[in-house]
Amino acid sequence: MSGKLKIRVDQDKCQGHARCKSLAPELFELDEFGNAHEVGDGSVPAGMEDKAWLAQTNCPEIAIEVQEE
Amino acid sequence: MSDSVSMMPEHPPVTDWVNDFDHTDPRWTENPFPIWDELRSECPVVHTKRFLGCYLPTTYQAVKEIAYDTEHFSSRRVIVRDVRPEVQRNAAPPITSDPPEHKPAKQLLLPPFTPDAMTKLEPRVRAICNELIDEFIEDGQCDAAARYTKHVPVRAIAHMLGIPEKDGDLFVKWIHMILELSIKNESMLVQAVQEMTAYFTGHIEHRKAHPTDDLISTLMKAKDKDGNPLEDSQVLGSLRLLLIAGIDTTWSAIGSSLWHLANTPADRDRLIAEPELMPSAIEEFLRAYSPVTMAREVMKETTISGCPVKPGNMVLLSFPAANRDPAMFPDADKVVIDRKENRHAAFGLGIHRCVGSNLARMEMTVAIEEWLKRIPDFKLDPAGKVTWSEGTVRGPRQLPVLFGKKN
């Protein structure tokens, strides 16, 4: 693994399937409608990279972006 | 029910699936997977003249294109039937709503169905499961569809709506009329809607004098974007939706999961030994045995995956077929309970994502966990017959199993 990861949920694409919250509860939070947002500024703490990718690859709407910094 | 079945006009058997498909054909009901594979290998979107004209996309890509395209495809009719009943305003919002009406109607229903809300409901569902199992565990056998998988969602949604759990048989009758019998007999739809309207009107009237803390009261107190109370027809339509959509669907999903585990002892034993696999197993059951096929109506001419699509036709939006597309899922025809990547579309894609998906997942998880705790070893009863529901929602309606002393 090279640099640190940063995640972002595209609010136009998220439909509230909540797969990310289930797979990586430390990285995502849900609003009152059940739509997802990244926690904080989206920086993925060391050791949580696999969970970030798991959330990304299970989002049915392809709403999660993972960037390597 | 037998009287109404005999009134149905029979559909001629299908001899050419590619040009004349019929999702009510008994072979489709029994085992649709090879049919979808055949159609997918021919063309991403096939057409039938039955049902006054209907398309069927079988690839994930084609299903996705249609689900995201609310300009050319309307949700005003979401069930493919022999006839096209007149479009009713507020039929069952938001599932029957298109933009711009869709979003405010859906936002009313989302907060009561978040994962946090489901966590609060979970202990009641766990108790329901154990009450049901208590009723038959000593027998060593049961019809799991009639005695277990049906009642879990019936009682859970009754609990949420604030209506008596004992009225469950009534709900199941209406759903059978609307989702199955009405495909070939429109009068079933009219009768069921009238009965449901009368039922819910009674509960609404009662709450005007005696307010409660349940979903019916939540909808009665809700305001539209201008701050006005909802029209009665919208409240009634959404209540119909919650009852219809919340029962057959999860009944089917739990039933198909138990059917798979009865047939596949290796998966069952692994799930008992490695309970941490339950979340991925639930997602895989949802993918492989997706119960719900929605519909759209073509409003404007367009092309989907290169295939021309013309107005006047319905579309059978087969999320179950999309979820079996090998171009999207490696080993699509295998059930892999620890599948790592699973972007399945069992709850739809785009703005119509199932509002009850968090409820369905919780009910499936709890129902299977409690079953496996109490009945870890079970198999299909070779003397019985498994039957499947027809048409819009697919799942076992008879699931005879043996366990304990009879196994």
Q: What is the pLDDT of residue B372?
A: 98
Residues of A in contact with B353 (CB under 8 A): 15-17, 60
B320: how many CB neighbours lie within 10 A of its CB?
Answer: 24
pLDDT at residue number B8: 52
Which residues of chain B are under the pLDDT cut of 70? 1-9
Predicted confidence (pLDDT) per residue in A27-49, tens digit: 999 999 999 999 999 999 999 99
Percent of chain A with pLDDT over 70: 97
CB-based contact B396:B259 (threshold 8 Å) = yes
pLDDT of residue B344: 98
This model of the complex carries an ipTM of: 0.96
User: Which structure tokens are listed for B25?
Assistant: 């054909």
CA distances from B56 to B44, B191, B297, B306, B318 (A): 8, 29, 12, 14, 7
* Cα B283 from Cα B290, distance rounded (Å): 10
User: Smallest Cα–Cα separation from B246: which of B367, B146, B156?
Assistant: B156
For residue A66, the SS3 value is strand
Q: Would you put residue B306 in left (φ > 0), alpha (ψ -120 to 50) or beta? A: left
Q: How far is the CA of B218 from the CAs of A68, B105, B182, in angstroms?
A: 44, 13, 30
Q: Which residues of B touch A23 (CB under 8 A)?
A: 279
Q: Which of A15, A33, A58 sits opposite B350 (nearest CB)?
A: A15
Q: How far is B351 from chain A (nearest CA, A)?
A: 6
pLDDT score, position A25: 98
Over the stretch A3-27, which tens digit does the pLDDT of each residue have?
Answer: 799 999 999 999 999 999 999 999 9
CB contact under 8 A, B110 and A62: no
Q: Cβ contact (<8 Å) for B342 and A58?
A: yes
Neighboring chain A residues of B107 at a CB cutoff of 8 Å: 33
Q: What pLDDT does B3 receive?
A: 40
B132-172 pLDDT per residue, tens: 999 999 999 999 999 999 999 999 999 999 999 999 889 99
Whether A58 and B110 lie within 8 Å, measured CB to CB = no
Whether A16 and chain B come into contact, CB under 8 Å, resolves to yes
A41: CB partners within 8 A, 6+ apart: A6
pLDDT given for residue B150 in this prediction: 94
Minimal Cβ distance to B349: which of A18, A32, A60: A60
pLDDT at B90: 82
CB contact under 8 A, A60 and B343: yes
CB contact under 8 A, B110 and A33: yes
Residue in A22, A34, A61 nearest the CB of B113: A34
